[in-house]
Amino acid sequence: MPIDLLAKFSVTEKVINEEGRELFDMFLAPGENILLYYRHARDKVIFTDRKIIAIDIQGITGKKKEFRMFPYSKITSFSVETAGTFDWDSDLKIWVSGVGVFGVKLGKKIDIAEVGVLLSEKVK
């Protein structure tokens, strides 16, 4: 029975220059490429060509970090909820086999279609 993870991450901007990449370099396989990278104050979510990595920086000093990896092969489905008139954020929910639901709230400046297209290509 999968755990209902319902991990909620919130990101507000797309990172173009891969600033802070060293945080998750240790989880990238040789030759693995970052395709999309989003962040907020302490949450970071990246989409590589093989998996999704979410980072939750915790504590006052920010030294405690939780890393969650979701290979595309374990994703069973996903949903995209676009921003509305009064709710300017978009929501992404990803169902991961054996884990549960992983949710990401995407700020109004982020193109949810870009994420949807990537997941449509990667989730088989």
The residue that leads in pLDDT, 53 or 57, is 53
Tell me the Ramachandran region of residue 96: left when phi exceeds 0, alpha when psi lies from -120 to 50, beta otherwise. beta
Run of H or E including 113 = helix 112-122
Asked whether 21 and 118 are in contact (CB, 8 A), the reply is no
Angle of CA points 17, 19, 21, to nearest 5°: 110
Distance from chain centroid for Cα 3? 18
- Rounded Cα distance between 20 and 26, Å, is 12
Domain boundaries, the chain: 7-122
* pTM of the entire predicted model: 0.85
Please report the pLDDT score of residue 1 as a whole number: 45
CATH homologous superfamily for the domain 7-122: Bacterial Pleckstrin homology domain (2.30.29.50)
User: Average per-residue pLDDT in the chain?
Assistant: 85
